Amino acid sequence: MEKLKHRWNQTPTAIRKPIVTVVGVLFIIASILTGWLPGPGGIPLFLIGIAVLASEFTWAERVRDRILHLLHRFGIWFKAHRILGTLLIIWGVACGATLTYFLYFR
């Protein structure tokens, strides 16, 4: 893995940046296209796209760091308020399921 990483870093920037841009944008476009699906939808694909773009672009690195910071803060809050957090998650899932039902079956 280290050899692959070293070789990738040795690739000229003029080749590396367009490849990273295309792959990252494809993941983000795929996240938009699958965002309407039940379940996590496009969230994992969006996060993968931002992570790929963050390897070459500072703006994407800032977005990635902001997302990680918010997730960390949510984890701390959730550990301090487990019952309320669990109820909010259950409420969110129930609202999502209800919305999905009314959008697709009515």
- pTM greater than the 0.75 cutoff: no
Per-residue pLDDT, 100? 81
Per-residue pLDDT, 6? 86
Q: Residues 52, 24: contact at Cβ < 8 Å?
A: yes
**3-state DSSP call for residue 56?**
coil
Q: Which residues contact 54 (CB under 8 A, 6 or more apart)?
A: 60, 61, 63, 64
Domain boundaries, the chain: 2-105
> In this structure, what is the dihedral angle of CA atoms 38, 40, 41, 45, given to the nearest 10 degrees?
-170
> pLDDT of the chain along its 106 residues, tens only?
888 888 888 888 889 999 999 999 999 999 999 877 777 778 899 999 999 999 999 999 999 999 999 999 999 999 999 999 999 989 988 988 898 888 888 7
